[in-house]
Chains A and B, each alone.
Chain A
Amino acid sequence: MISYGHHRYPGRLFVVEGTDGSGKSTQLSLLHQWLKSEGYSVFFSEWNSSPLVKDTTRRAKKRRLFTPTTFSLLHATDFADRTERDIIPPLKAGAIVLADRYIYTAFARDVARGCDRAWVREIYKFAVKPTAAFFFRAPLDIAIDRIAAGRPQLKFYEAGMDMDWADDEEESFKIFQGKILDEYDHMVSEFGLTVVDGTQAIRTQQGQMREIVSRYLQEKLKEKTVVAK
C-alpha cells in the first residue's frame, strides 16, 4: 500500500474544504469551468459518490444505525472506493482531478464527533496527497445564514443530532459546525492548507484560486519541457 505523500502521478489533484455554507462548491465549479475552457482534461469527484457504499449509507442514515466509529469507517470505505476508482486512475492518466471535500472533511467531522485524532488520520493514510488543498474559511454565523437561506430542513446526522449536544436541530447544528471549524483551524498548519477568506466577493476568491492553480500547472509544464529536452 502506498501511503499519503508517497504517490507519484503525472496528474494534479486540487481539493476544496470548508464548513457547509463556506462557498467551496461554488468556487470549485467555477474552477472546473475555467480549466475546461483552457483545454485541460479535468475529472470531478465528490464525496459520497461511491455507488458501492451508497445503499449501506442511505439505509444506515434512515434507520440511524451509526455510531461515531462506524460513521467514520463507512465514510472511509466510501473514500477508498473513490480513491481507487475516481482519483488514482485519472491522476495516472495525467488528468487534473478536482475533489469537493477530501480527507480533511473526515478529520474535522469525525474528531468533532469524538473519534481519536491519530486514529482517524491513520485510517486515511492510503489517500493521495493533494497538489493543493483550499480551505474556504467563513465565520460560523455567515455560513449558517447561507445554509438557512438555501435549505430549511437539516438532516439528523448533518445536524449532529446523534451526539445529544442539544435538543434543537439548529442549535445542535451550530455546535457541530463550531467544533468542525475548530478542527479545520488546527489542520491549516498540520497539512499546509491554503486558506481562502470566504467572506470576500466570489470573483475575488476565484481569482486567488486560479492564480495558485496556474502556478502548479506551470510547474508541471516545466517538468515536461525538461523531460522533452
Chain B
Amino acid sequence: MKQMQFYGTALPNLGFEEYAGKLIVIEGTDGVGRSTHVALLRTWLESAGYAVLDTGMTRSVLAGRGIKDARSGHILGRLTLQLYYATDFADRLENEILPALRAGFIVLTDRYIYSAIARAVVRGADPNWIRAIYGIALVPDAVLYLRVQSAEELAGRVLASGRGFDYWESGMDLGLGNDYYDSFVAYQKLLLKEFEGMKSEYNFEVVDASKPVKRVATALRRSIKRIVDIDPAPPVPETMPREAFKAEVKDKAPVEARPNTPAKLPEPKARV
C-alpha cells in the first residue's frame, strides 16, 4: 500500500488515501513505439498474475469522442484543445485510473500529463498554467520515457509503420513547415526538447527507444521489476493436480495434438 501523492491541488473530496495498485506511465513522442510496448507489457504482467488496466489519451467516455470529432475537423482553437485534453484526462483519472489503483490493478498508461504539457507549451501555453491544471494528477510509481535520438529517426519510424504522417502528429496547426515531413520534424524537435526539460522535473526513467523492440522490452521489464514483484511467479497451490491431469489427458486423448495447433475433432460418426 502506498499513499496517494499529487503534483499540485488534489481532486476535491480526495483525502490522504492509500492504494494497492501501481501506476506506470509509458511516455514518448509520436511513433516511438509506445502502444507496442504497452501491449507487450500487458501480456507479460497478466501472465505473471497481475490485473492490468491500460488507458491512454483521448480514450475517456466523457470527452474522447468530442476531441476526435473536433480534431478531425481541425476546428479547435489552441487553448480549447488543451483544456479538452485536460477534461479527458480528469475523466479517466477519476473514473478509470483511481478506481483501478484502489482495486490493486497495475495501470499502464500510454502517455500521461507530460505529453499534454509538452503539446500545450509548444503551442504557446504558459508552462505554469498548464502545470497547475494538471496538478490534479497522481504522481506515478514509474515514468518510463521512450527516447529516440532525433526527430528524423521518428519520421523514419512513422513511414516504416505504413501509417504515414498525420495532421496533428505533424503539428500542421502550427505552420512550422511547408509540407508534412518538414512540419513533422520541426514539431517533434520542439516536443523532444520539452520532454528533455521535464526529465528531471518529473523523474523520468529514460529508455533508449532506438534499440530493437526486444531490447527495449527487456529494459522496460527490468524497470518494472523494481516496483512490481514478478519473481517468483504467482504461487501455484501445492495440491494442483498437474501431473494427474496430464496423465488423464494422455489416457483419454489418443489424438496427438501439436502445440499451438487445435486438436483434431473426432471424425463424425457415420449416420446409420
Contact = CB atoms under 8 A, between A and B. Distances in A.
Nearest to A53: B66
A77 B84 contact: yes
Interface stretch (B131-139, B151-159, B204-212): B131-139
Interface stretch (A95-103, A117-125, A169-177): A117-125
B62 A60 contact: yes
A80 B62 contact: no
B115 interface: no
B13 interface: yes
Tell me the dominant secondary structure on chain B's binding face.
helix
B63 A56 contact: yes
A204 interface: no
Nearest to B133: A123
A80 B125 contact: no
Contact of A65 (B9, B62, B80, B84): B62
B13 A125 contact: no
B132 A122 contact: yes
A52 B79 contact: no
A84 B66 contact: no
Contacts of A68: 12-13
Nearest to B73: A52
B12 A52 contact: no
B61 A77 contact: no
A125 B129 contact: yes
Size band of the A side of the interface?
20 to 34
A83 B76 CA distance: 12
A112 to B, nearest CB: 11
B12 A77 contact: no
Nearest to A56: B66
Interface of A: 1, 3, 50, 52-53, 55-56, 60, 65-70, 73-74, 76-77, 80-81, 83-85, 113-116, 118-119, 122-123, 125-126
26 contacts: A1-B126, A1-B129, A52-B76, A52-B80, A60-B62, A65-B61, A66-B62, A67-B90, A69-B90, A69-B94, A69-B136, A70-B94, A73-B87, A74-B63, A74-B87, A77-B83, A77-B87, A81-B77, A81-B80, A83-B79, A84-B78, A114-B12, A115-B12, A122-B133, A123-B83, A126-B79
